[in-house]
Amino acid sequence: MTGKFSRRSILRGVVGGAAVGVALPNLDMFLDGNGLAYADTGAKMPVRFGTYFWGLGLTPGRWVPETVGAGWEITPELGSLGGGLEKKVSVFSGFRVHLDGRPNLQHWTGQGAVMSGLAPSKIGTFNAGTFDLDVSRAIGGGTRFRSVNLTPFGNPKLSYSSATGTGFNTPETTPLSLYEKLFGEGFQDPNSPDWSPDPSLMVRQSVLSAVTEQRKALLAEASAADRVKLDQYFTSIREMENQLDVQMQRPAPAEACFVPGGPPETRPSGRIDRVNEANSQMAELMAMALACNQTKVFNVVHTSATSEAYLEGDSKIYHLHTHDEPVDPELGYQKVSSQLAELAFRGYGEFLRALDRIPEGDGTLLDNTLVLGYSDTGYAKIHSTDNIPMFLGGHAGGAHKGNMHVVGNGDPVSRLSLTAQQLVGVPVGSFGVGGMETSKAITEVMA
């Protein structure tokens, strides 16, 4: 029985750790009733935050700009960030995962380290909860959803957002399912002239309150591991209660909010052009959801870390190409893999562009948003966790300069996770565990 007990002890440890690392439950008190403006100034637009993962990294020699500091130049695989978008994006090279004695779990260690602040011990779980939830606790109040998860790849297991490291927040897997979540039943058009609270919401509130009455009794007599699970469940109920509270109030008008039409039903495909099509549709929906104040936090997984995406008519998937394709002696890199890397990374650029098309205040929605782009590896061919490509897109309401290239010189990837949190206003001084622990934000990109 030792194994079982040690697992429980670990969970207990994680709980202890999480309790220390978790930000204060919310900063709602600083916001006005609808979370649209800070109560003290009444004017500032809300800052939104997203993470964006794509599998298999980028190709060494094909993405890192030569320019360090401001004004980085477009490189072959970063083409999708061109045309002026690069002014709003910072590039981070040379950051790596410190394993602290744990194995390099291929296609799992990278995302675990970025999101949870330490290299995971085991494939399928992280050793701690992920920081996007700290962000949503800090800035996600006042909207219908604390956070929204999605993947254009169609696999409901593709999510790296987790409260405890065990069990990941389920993503929407098609444009239609995302549409239904955001704009289907329960959506209230903030610009509609007629509004009255939906009586069914009160019914729902009474159901939920009857369920939560059981909470104390159930938690009091449960073992530690079960308590973690049940507590997560009650947290999910609390989120729905928050949603209902928001829906019971008249939504504040949102200038840029325009309720989109529903996309057609589609079956997810692994063909890279189809993945990118779904990505663009989902980006449009997500942008509008942010503009309509449905959420302030989102997580996207474009492709899995062992990406099964493929080029039309090609019998090999992307993941196989990265391992089997020889380095072209003349070009000095893997030709097809680099083509696929550029295509996969295009998803991030397209996502940022969708946000940048929405006007907001004096600028665009992207100016009030920060999207951390990251991958699992610095070189997929050899599963390297050095030089993991990472990006910050959007100005975070003016906090992020953009257009910077910072070289990490082997610093832990957690420095960027910490920086992202601070840029969007999470009151956190350090992030990560062991060799990944850092209190050094990347101040070069802070305005």
3-state secondary structure of 81: helix
The single residue among 52, 160, 168, 345 that binds another protein, judged by CB under 8 A, is: 168
Contact present, 419 and 131 (Cβ < 8 Å): no
Task: Give the Cα separation of 71 and 338 in Å (integer).
Answer: 24
435: DSSP letter:
G
Q: Residue 352, Cβ neighbours under 10 Å: how many?
A: 26
Shortest distance, position 21 Cβ to another protein, whole Å: 11
Nearer to another protein, 5 or 258 (CB): 5
Give the interface segment with another protein, choosing from 19-27, 251-259, 419-427, 435-443 (CB under 8 A): 19-27
The single residue among 10, 74, 176, 240 that binds another protein, judged by CB under 8 A, is: 240
**At CB < 8 A and 24+ separation, what contacts does 165-173 make?**
165/14, 165/116, 165/120, 165/125, 165/126, 165/127, 165/128, 165/129, 165/130, 166/11, 166/125, 166/126, 166/228, 167/232, 169/299, 171/299, 171/301, 172/148, 172/282, 173/268
Nearer to another protein, 157 or 440 (CB): 157
Task: Give the Cα separation of 349 and 352 in Å (integer).
Answer: 5
Nearer to another protein, 270 or 434 (CB): 270
Give the interface segment with another protein, choosing from 63-71, 110-118, 120-128, 391-399 (CB under 8 A): 120-128
Contacts to another protein from residues 31-90, by CB under 8 A: none
Shortest distance, position 147 Cβ to another protein, whole Å: 8
Shortest distance, position 137 Cβ to another protein, whole Å: 5
Left (φ > 0), alpha (ψ -120 to 50) or beta: where does 223 sit? beta
The single residue among 34, 169, 279, 369 that binds another protein, judged by CB under 8 A, is: 169
Q: Which residues contact 169 (CB under 8 A, 6 or more apart)?
A: 147, 149, 159, 161, 162, 163, 299
3-state secondary structure of 62: coil
Q: Using CB atoms within 10 A of its CB, is residue 138 exposed (0-12), middle (13-18) or buried (19+)?
A: buried
The single residue among 67, 170, 192, 439 that binds another protein, judged by CB under 8 A, is: 170
The answer to the question of residue 220 lying near another protein (CB under 8 A) is: yes
Nearer to another protein, 320 or 407 (CB): 320
Helix 224-247 to helix 2-21 angle (10° resolution) is 40
Task: Give the Cα separation of 434 and 161 in Å (integer).
Answer: 21
Contacts to another protein from residues 267-286, by CB under 8 A: 267, 269-270
The single residue among 181, 296, 346, 401 that binds another protein, judged by CB under 8 A, is: 181
The answer to the question of residue 230 lying near another protein (CB under 8 A) is: yes
Contact present, 297 and 369 (Cβ < 8 Å): no
Nearer to another protein, 256 or 320 (CB): 320
| Number of amino acids touching another protein (CB under 8 A) | 96
Contacts to another protein from residues 373-432, by CB under 8 A: 381-384
The single residue among 61, 65, 156, 363 that binds another protein, judged by CB under 8 A, is: 156
Shortest distance, position 118 Cβ to another protein, whole Å: 18
Residue type, 12: R
Task: Give the Cα separation of 204 and 63 in Å (integer).
Answer: 50
Nearer to another protein, 250 or 323 (CB): 323
Shortest distance, position 400 Cβ to another protein, whole Å: 25
Give the interface segment with another protein, choosing from 69-77, 111-119, 262-270, 399-407 (CB under 8 A): 262-270
Contacts to another protein from residues 93-112, by CB under 8 A: 103-106
Binding mask 294-333 for another protein (x = CB under 8 A): --------------x-x-xxxxxx--x--xxxx-------
Report which of 371, 367, 379 is spatially closest to residue 349, judged by C-alpha positions: 371
The separation between the first and the last C-alpha atoms of the chain, rounded to the nearest angstrom, is 54
Give the interface segment with another protein, choosing from 58-66, 78-86, 224-232, 358-366 (CB under 8 A): 224-232
The answer to the question of residue 336 lying near another protein (CB under 8 A) is: no
